[in-house]
Structure 1
């Protein structure tokens, strides 16, 4: 028993680091899109992250697979997990606060459950999970606000774009189950490189990046986003999958919410509305009910 505790402690520490890295990504994006167009920002993000992950594979003595069938699956994963959602979030953060983006994007476990229940049906739809769905969706409605019901203005469209990105993340989680038996670093690197192969040409056509004059702050935000919130985060994530199991794949979904909001408040001067804070509580409660193991939920309720 004693021999396992150090490993668990390191795992929980890394879990907090992962939540911080992914929670900070929204602030990095917010700063990056100030002078770098969304498509170019995300193209650079995937290219830099994919290159760094290739370096990690090289250090581990691994190579990317050569089977074309696996690369087609990497391409689908890239579209669901990076190309579409990264671009939508970067565009949305032209008008949406980083804290608000963090809250909205935390609903991925809810949509993953809905897709699982409707498509794969490999998990039972328990009452606790249903409660989580209701609480989470209520939070989304509170955050997006009644403006969405009176016509989609620029802010509402941006908020809904983040929700659409979240649905993509949920689809990626369901689709990613098909990589069972494959070293998780391979689809991580492969999907990032596929994403870069799509986004870099798009950036060249749409934004003509050679004509841009990004600020030093935006460039630093891009580098931090790529190296820390993408490449390093994936390395930590896949280690946690092996050491902490489901905790690594679920706890970060709601741990990063308060992290992202606090970072937006402290460093970007954002001030979420009271309704947004209520929505945050609903979303976190819903995601926790959806993802916490049943034994953990019982311990939490007993402690309270």
Structure 2
């Protein structure tokens, strides 16, 4: 059974927040030399190769059978291909830090999807309060200014990232199939990244035509390598280690830390600036996540 957060697990959580927060930074830099579909393909293909080597080193078999590959295929679509593409396209319109702030709403969509699509994960009092607070944070994030002239591009970027959050939420429901297929975490991650790469390849060949692209700058290539190997392959390994050691509730704390690291990298390296409403929206979303976690409400309410 998962236990409490030890100093080792806190260290892994902080490292995970750094590499996942860095993914938004890496995508922003990669966009300087590659189109979105190519970035996503390279990200999942590099991760699949690294994870396959890890499975081989640990003696883990790759997914086998129709049920296992169907489970991986759904996760590839909902947890990799769709959200990765939407986020990187969204970052063409909004700063990397803002994309990470929007992404913090993922657990809100996860509890809503679980309520609507499952029979045993209905909204409790604290989850309902957290979901409503999180949605309020999203509204603050967009703000009335996003609907005025000159802010349409920002609104589009936010909307794309919010749909990515919804896709992540749906993947949480689909992940039940991974558990039913009895796949080891790294095996499942390898399978889904492999299928995601196969999904993205036709899009890259059809729309990006990589053979016709100009030579990318070195910084974009380095960012692409870091995105696949650090922010995807290594991140999966860290996340599953935290999940096994401390459970899903504690692992979810990373969603509060990712925007912080992304904002710092965006501000310090990319010289990005965020409006006060963006920071206020992040704070309200954070309160929503803590309410979903149950630690802000009295014990008698958490039991409902």
* TM-score normalised by L of structure 2: 0.90
Q: Provide the C-alpha distance between the structure 1 equivalents of 2:80 and 2:227, rounded to a whole number of angstroms.
A: 13
Q: Which moved more, 1:138-147 or 1:182-191?
A: 138-147
Contact 1:254 1:288 in 2 (8 A): no
Who is 2:91 aligned against? Answer: 93
1:171-182 matches, cutoff 5 A: 171-180=170-179, 181-182=182-183
Partner of 1:196: 197
State how 1:101-250 maps to structure 2 within 5 Å: 101-146=99-144, 149=147, 153-180=152-179, 181-212=182-213, 213-250=215-252
Partner of residue 68, structure 1 = 66
Task: State the Cα distance separating 1:147 from its structure 2 match.
Answer: 5.0
**TM-superposed deviation, 1:214:** 1.2
Q: Distance in 2 between matches of 1:146 and 1:136?
A: 17
Please give the root-mean-square deviation of Cα atoms over the aligned residues, in Å. Answer: 2.2
- Shift of residue 287 of structure 1? 1.4
How far does residue 248 in structure 1 lie from its aligned partner after superposition? 4.6
Contact 2:86 2:160 in 1 (8 A): yes
Distance in 2, matches of 1:247 and 1:15, equals 12
Question: Aligned partners of 1:128 and 1:247: how far apart in 2?
Answer: 13
Alignment check: 8 A CA contact 1:50 1:192 kept:
yes
Shift in Å, 1:298: 6.7
Q: Which runs of 5+ in 1 are unaligned?
A: 300-304
| CA drift at 1:266 | 1.5
Gaps of 5+ in 2: 300-304
Out of 258, 261, 264, the residue aligned to residue 260 of structure 2 is 258
CA distance in 1, matches of 2:146, 2:175: 32
- Secondary structure of the residue that 2:45 maps to in structure 1? helix
Q: Between 128-137 and 76-85, report the one with greater CA deviation.
A: 128-137
Describe the superposition over 1:202-253 as per-residue Cα deviations: whole angstroms up to 9, x where unpaired.
1122111122221111111111111111000001111111111124531112
Deviation at 1:125, TM superposition (A): 2.3
Which string of whole-angstrom CA distances, capped at 9 and with x for unpartnered residues, describes residues 117-157 of structure 1? 11114234233222211221111112123255569833211
Q: CA separation in 1, counterparts of 2:105 and 2:173?
A: 15
Distance in 1 between residues matched to 2:71 and 2:4, nearest whole Å:
37
Who is 2:302 aligned against?
Answer: none
Query: Conserved in 2, the CA contact under 8 Å of 1:85 and 1:165?
Result: yes
Q: How many residues get paired? A: 294
**What TM-score do the two structures reach when normalised by structure 1?**
0.90
